[in-house]
C-alpha cells in the first residue's frame, strides 16, 4: 500500500469522524491545540503523521487510534 494512499484514507476517516461531531476544522484544531492549516493538511492526506499525532487526534474525537485506523481500512 502506497504511503500517499494511506495518508489519504486516514485523512478521510479523520474528516468523517470530525464531521460526525459537528465541529468545524478550525474549532476542532483549536480544541486539540493544533494549527488549523496543519490539521487541514492532515485531512487532505498531505501529511504523514506520527503515532503521537494520531493519538492526539483520536483523543480529540473521543476515539481510540485503532478505531481511526479501522475506519480508514488500515
Question: Over 8-73, what HEC string results?
Answer: HHHHHHHHHHHHHHCCCHHHHHHHCCCCHHHHHHHHCCCCCCCHHHHHHHHHHHCCCHHHHHHHCC
Q: The whole model's pTM is what?
A: 0.90
What pLDDT, on the 0 to 100 scale, is given for residue 3?
67
CATH for 3-71, among 1.10.260.40, 3.40.50.740, 3.40.50.720, 3.90.1150.10?
1.10.260.40
Give the chain's residues under pLDDT 50. Answer: none
What pLDDT, on the 0 to 100 scale, is given for residue 1?
59
Q: Which sequence spans correspond to the domains of the chain?
A: 3-71
What pLDDT, on the 0 to 100 scale, is given for residue 21?
94
Amino acid at each position: 500500500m502506497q504511503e500517499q494512499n494511506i495518508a489519504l484514507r486516514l485523512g478521510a476517516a479523520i474528516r468523517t469522524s470530525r464531521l460526525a461531531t459537528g465541529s468545524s476544522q478550525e474549532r476542532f484544531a483549536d480544541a486539540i491545540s493544533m494549527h488549523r492549516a496543519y490539521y487541514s493538511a492532515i485531512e487532505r492526506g498531505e501529511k504523514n503523521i506520527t503515532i503521537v499525532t494520531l493519538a492526539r487526534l483520536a483523543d480529540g474525537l473521543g476515539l481510540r487510534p485503532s478505531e481511526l485506523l479501522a475506519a480508514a481500512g488500515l
